[in-house]
Amino acid sequence: MKYDFCVLGAGLAGLSVAKELSSIPDVNVIVIDPHGIGGGASGSPIGLANPATGRFATKSWRAEESIEAIRSNLVDVSPYSSEKLFSRSGVMRPAMDSKIARRMQENLESNEWPDDWCEWLSEDEIKTRFPDLHSEYGGVWVSTGITVAIPKYLQALSCYLKENGVEILEKKKFELDRSSGNWNIKLSDGTQFEAGHLITTAGIKTKEFDFWKELLLHPVKGQVAIFECEDSFPYKAAISALGYFASLDSKTFVAGSTYEHNFTHEEVDLQGKEYIEKRMLRVMPELKGKYRLIDQWSGVRASTPDRMPIIGRHPSIENCSVFAGLGSKGLLYSSLLAKEISPFLIDHSTLSSEISLERFNSK
């Protein structure tokens, strides 16, 4: 069997790319992931598509297109799951000190936000709308923020892809060979097939392929904790301050994340849980003693020197491309950038300079 494209990685980047490529008539796609769907950093139990990013709620790159793209994908795949995949919850971003409040207000005024996307709430307004949330300085309400159960979303997306002709091989080890001109992929069970073009979307594990080992990706470990409330999680909206806190049901919520640049192992640990819990109680002090830990999760994200994703062709190997470096913005950017990489691969269109691999090759 020969495929037009083989996508290595079944996380947010890989499955989003497969969706866009497979929508083109007469293009066939296969996805392979030795760790399974969402087996890497895309496996976080809950994530936010939040266009007001960083400590100061800065408008993200191409925010309007990003939110529309992930919304569209969520709507497309929701019929393929019996469970709730997402909520248009909005995100409340309380300022934790006066400096942050000032910078948030400056960004709110200087960034060109669409109408009704963001508004400044005073301390009193936050107390009215979000009782018991710590806020002495006001904060930014982001009405367009989306809370997503990422593993459930990826499973639904994989079902959508399979129904639309994409083959997905999970937990299959493989070897690559390009001696014949095409990419020859040999699975551990002896099965072989060919692909015209190889797209690596394996996050930080992209660097484990010899031909991408020089890629400028930096590993950042992230841990989250899953808690269960005695009564119910107090907010329908997600909260973003000193981390993020979000729920898709009335009892459990996810709190995260750590950003560990120097780590000795990839597993969850007590230090991560304590770090998250300490920051959580600064933001939501009334939760103290009213919850219990039910699980933890960790993953290693791939970051880049300028914290923007990387898309591009290999500088010396034909029919070999990469899509990586999404960092903590996988939900926000994966759907949009998949739409950009598709014409780049098919029609050789020009990529946005902010995400092109060429921005590093030219330095």
Tens of pLDDT along the chain (363 residues) come to: 899 999 999 999 999 999 999 999 999 999 999 999 999 999 999 999 999 999 999 999 999 999 999 999 999 999 999 999 999 999 999 999 999 999 999 999 999 999 999 999 999 999 999 998 998 999 999 999 999 999 999 999 999 999 999 999 999 899 999 988 899 999 999 999 999 999 999 999 999 999 999 999 999 999 999 999 999 999 999 999 999 999 999 899 999 999 999 999 999 999 999 999 999 999 999 999 999 999 999 999 999 999 999 999 999 999 999 999 999 999 999 999 999 999 999 999 999 999 999 998 765
Sign of CA dihedral 126, 131, 135, 139: negative
Q: Tokens for 36, please give them.
A: 């399974």
pLDDT, residue 362, reads 61
Topology of the domain comprising 90-143+218-303: D-Amino Acid Oxidase; Chain A, domain 2 (3.30.9)
Compute the distance between CA of residue 303 and CA of residue 106 in angstroms, rounded to an integer. 27
Please tell me the number of Cα atoms within 13 Å of 198 on its side-chain side.
23
Question: What residue has token string 């003693």?
Answer: 289
Angle, CA of 71, 306 and 8, to the nearest 5°: 60
Compute the distance between CA of residue 80 and CA of residue 100 in angstroms, rounded to an integer. 41
Helix ranges restricted to H, the chain: 12-22, 63-77, 98-110, 123-129, 150-163, 270-283, 330-347, 358-361
pLDDT, residue 363, reads 52
pLDDT, residue 280, reads 97
Backbone dihedral angles phi then psi of residue 348, each to the nearest 5 degrees: 60, 35
pLDDT, residue 361, reads 76
Domain residue ranges of the chain, discontinuous segments joined by +: 2-43+151-216+306-361, 90-143+218-303
| C-alpha to C-alpha distances, 197 to 30, 93, 188, 319, 339, nearest whole angstrom | 11, 42, 21, 5, 17
Partners of 139 in beta bridges: 94, 121
**Residues whose CB falls within 8 Å of the CB of residue 128, separated by 6 or more in sequence, listed in order:** none
Domain boundaries 2-43+151-216+306-361, corresponding CATH code: 3.50.50.60
Compute the distance between CA of residue 180 and CA of residue 90 in angstroms, rounded to an integer. 51
pTM for this model (two decimals): 0.96
CB 192 within 8 A of CB 186: yes
DSSP letter, residue 210: G
Amino acid 335 reads S
